[in-house]
Amino acid sequence: MDAISVIRAKRDGHPLSDEQIDWVIDAYTRGAVADEQMSALAMAILLNGMTRAEIARWTAAMIASGERMDFSSLARPTADKHSTGGVGDKITLPLAPLVAACGAAVPQLSGRGLGHTGGTLDKLESIPGWRASLSNAEMLGILDSAGAVVCAAGDGLAPADKKLYALRDVTGTVEAIPLIASSIMSKKIAEGTGSLVLDVKVGSGAFMKTVEDARELASTMVGLGTDHGVRTVALLTDMSTPLGRTAGNALEVRESVEVLAGGGPADVVELTLALAREMLAAAGLPDADPAKALADGSAMDVWRRMIAAQGGDPDADLPVAREQHVVTAPTSGVLTSLDAYAVGVAAWRLGAGRARKEDPVQAGAGVELHAKPGERVEAGAPLMTLHTDTPEKFDYALAALDDAFALGDTAVDVPASVVLERIA
């Protein structure tokens, strides 16, 4: 086989055969298929889609490209969570220690920023000393001692996905449902967790803009997980407005610690608890009370152990950007809308994300929100603060925020819950 024939087949709308899928994933992993060829295939998949059978085979080929982990030696049941990515989505940070405090083991393999969405590993790396790369033995040891670990997937775990994940970020193919589903589920199935809860974002700040697309993605992933013997459930959650009041790396860590300390924004707390309950139920611990673990400090205790076990200092000061710019309200009124995508792009342009897969990120960069929809602000009051080490980026970030918010004279209906739907 050759890459060009596989690309042409998908370009022309034909389903790929099992043999074509197995070959192209293996060849790309070995370096026999070049990045530019896989980029062309990824774009063809984005434009023409894949059948359920193609997605299942693509996922299986990604799993087969590397090793599979085994957590059967742990005394606790395992539960994991994955988010499809949003703006201000720092939920993994308080969630993993919270679920561990309730009796489950949480082997959380996380990724880096994709496009306008933040990456959990980028956020945690703003903590002095913390490291994302662990050996399998280190991961098992931390799970045994702390109950939770958040780290990068090892080189041996679905290596095909590791290469393709970074490539999608810089080729405009992040939104392809078959590639999202196979990327997430190949890692999670190979990881060996007993149960999985998916947080599928929907709205302007998500890769899935409509409930219909989010439902399709969620159903595809739930089916893939179930077929591989992993208890899987998905929640569709709102991402039309940024989650919480920060979008950035160190900014979001700081807000997550506030949640673990019993405070934090209401929407972050609500979603953290909702996902915790789903994870605990899937792990066979339906009677555990995550709200109690959040209130009594036991989740914070696990956080501190987890961070320290990965070389981080939970008491260290977090990085702060050298420059700030305050965006003020042009008039008095009620904030009627705040576009998550625009805020995410602004944070990315300030340095919180990357334009190329090899780019570094700024730990202190991002956007801090002083008002959310439904809240009243006065003319001249701060709406948001932009943070960056490179002030020449302010104008570029401000351009993304030109139409990001609206002010009105009357109150607006704020959604009662960030959780829109449950799929199992």
- Do 261 and 339 share a structural domain? no
Neighbours of 296 (CB within 10 A): 13
Q: Are 310 and 130 in contact (CB under 8 A)?
A: yes
**CATH (domain of 30):** 1.20.970.10
What's the mean pLDDT in 125-150?
95
Domain contains 417 = no
Q: How many CA atoms lie within 13 A of 267 on its CB side?
A: 23
- Do 305 and 365 share a structural domain? no
What pLDDT does 106 receive?
Answer: 97
Domain stops at, among 309, 337, 360: 309
- Do 239 and 120 share a structural domain? yes
Positive or negative: CA dihedral 166, 169, 172, 173: positive
What's the mean pLDDT in 342-355?
93
pLDDT tens track for 14-46: 999 999 999 999 999 999 999 999 999 999 999
Q: Is the per-residue pLDDT at 357 higher than 70?
A: no
What's the mean pLDDT in 115-130?
92
- Do 205 and 232 share a structural domain? yes
**CATH (domain of 284):** 3.40.1030.10
**Annotated catalytic sites, by residue?**
82, 161, 168, 183, 187
How far is residue 243's CA from residue 268's CA, in Å, rounded to a whole number?
6
Domain contains 316 = no
Domain contains 284 = yes
- Do 105 and 11 share a structural domain? no
Q: Give, in order, the Cα–Cα distances in Å from 392 to each of 198, 352, 355, 367, 396.
A: 38, 15, 16, 16, 8
Positive or negative: CA dihedral 52, 229, 101, 364: negative
Domain contains 380 = yes
- Do 203 and 127 share a structural domain? yes
pLDDT tens track for 227-285: 888 999 999 999 999 999 999 999 999 999 999 999 999 999 999 999 999 999 999 99
pLDDT band at 151 (very low <50, low <70, confident <90, very high): very high
Domain contains 58 = no
How many structural domains is the chain composed of?
A: 3
How far is residue 204's CA from residue 241's CA, in Å, rounded to a whole number?
8
pLDDT band at 355 (very low <50, low <70, confident <90, very high): confident
Domain contains 240 = yes
Domain stops at, among 280, 309, 338: 309
- Do 112 and 259 share a structural domain? yes
Determine the 3-state secondary structure of 331 from DSSP: coil
Residue 16 — φ and ψ, nearest 5°? -80, 140
Range of the domain at 29: 3-49
Look at residues 107, 205, 92 and name the one whose alpha carbon lies nearest to residue 154: 107
Domain stops at, among 263, 281, 309: 309
How far is residue 37's CA from residue 164's CA, in Å, rounded to a whole number?
11
Domain contains 56 = no
Q: Are 339 and 205 in contact (CB under 8 A)?
A: yes
- Do 252 and 381 share a structural domain? no
Domain contains 147 = yes
- Do 19 and 127 share a structural domain? no
- Do 168 and 288 share a structural domain? yes
- Which amino acid makes up residue 191? E
- Do 157 and 267 share a structural domain? yes
Look at residues 198, 200, 285 and name the one whose alpha carbon lies nearest to residue 233: 198
- Do 261 and 149 share a structural domain? yes
Q: Which residue has the higher pLDDT, 158 or 114?
A: 158
